A = this chain, B = another copy of it.
Amino acid sequence: MRIVRTVAELRDATLAARTTGTGIALVPTMGALHEGHLSLVRAARAENALVVLSIFVNPTQFDDPSDLAAYPRTEQRDAELAGSAGADVIFAPSAAEMYPDGFATTVHVGGPLTATLEAAGRGTGHFDGVATIVSKLLLAALPDAAYFGMKDAQQVLVVRRMVRDLGIPCRIVACPTERDADGLALSSRNTRLTAEERERALAIPRVLRRVAEAIRIGAAGKAAAAAPSGDPAPTGAEPLADHGAFETARRRGLAELSAAGLDPEYLAIVDPEDLTPVDAPPAGGAVLVLAAARAGNTRLIDNVVVDTGTPVPR
């Protein structure tokens, strides 16, 4: 395994694989690797001849300098873990390599994807920082595919939009969120939690599961009501008022997060394509349920995709 620091070295390290066209994968990370990152490396390894893992704690996507300063940096350990999981090249550039003097370019994704949720919580510049650094990493590594974790679901959507819009010749692969045995989504920030904060944080996946279940039941009810014919559901068989049910589940969830001692920022039930709020299960479609909450000083996010296309039988 090779560690490179400059774009020129990275291009050199990927040249042979590019020439033979055997498949180059990029796994962009901010280091502090955990099993979630390693699952991305393994997915990349299974599908490509060369796997590049980048480690760059991107300053432009932090709105809070103390969050940036506190972000864990463990490069030596990261490189060993990534190598064990199958990475061939570690690209660990300096900030000056990525943002040299005079740097003046921003890649901005507009529209609904960046007008909500994490954009509100982390500052409007967050996704500009993400889109800009990801475009730079993709253009540096020129991979055939790049692997991202679904834990950062909104980030995946923003990156997909940016890659499609600019026409960067690369597939974006979204891999499932990895969780600890207790259900907490893996995150580099988890190391900052005290044992007590971690206990409280478990309310996040618990609430997401409950909201998902409420949505599944609502969707199943709707399907059952609509099943006999295309006619309106018979009086009395109306299983639930969808609008109220989604909003009720969402409010209950927020209350449960607060009751668990967390400081919830959002709990949202949205269209997984464009993040617009939905108040009824789409016919055969999926919904995305996302949450952000603070446990002490640590901000945590998580989400689940609820496929309402295969309703749960009642």
Interface residues of A, Cβ cutoff 8 Å to B: 7, 11, 102-111, 113, 131-132, 135-136, 139-140, 142, 161-162, 165-169, 274
Contacts and interface: CB of A to CB of B under 8 A. Distances in A.
Given A105-B162, A107-B107, A162-B105, A167 B113 contact: no
Contact of A107 (B7, B166, B274): B166
A107 B139 CA distance: 14
A140 B102 CA distance: 26
Nearest to A7: B167
Given A105-B161, A105-B162, A106-B110, 12 more contacts: A7-B167, A11-B169, A102-B111, A104-B109, A104-B111, A105-B131, A106-B108, A107-B107, A132-B166, A139-B167, A139-B168, A139-B169
Chain multiplicity (copies): 2
A167 to B, nearest CB: 5
Nearest to A168: B139
A107 B165 CA distance: 11
A161 B104 contact: yes
Contacts of A165: 103-105, 136
Contacts of A166: 105, 107, 132, 135-136, 139
A249 B104 CA distance: 32
A13 to B, nearest CB: 15
A161 B103 CA distance: 8
Nearest to A128: B108
A203 B206 CA distance: 75
A61 to B, nearest CB: 16
Among A103, A136, A139, max chain B CB count under 10 A is at A139
B113 A109 contact: no
B103 A105 contact: no
Contacts of A11: 169
A-B interface, 6 closest residue pairs, ranked by CB to CB distance from nearest: A105-B165, A104-B111, A139-B167, A106-B108, A104-B110, A105-B162
A162 B108 CA distance: 13
A285 B116 CA distance: 49
Nearest to A161: B104
Given A139-B166, A167-B140, A108 B109 contact: no
Nearest to A114: B104
Nearest to A111: B104
Nearest to A113: B104
Contacts of A142: 169
Contacts of A110: 104-106
Given A107-B107, A108-B108, A102 B161 contact: yes
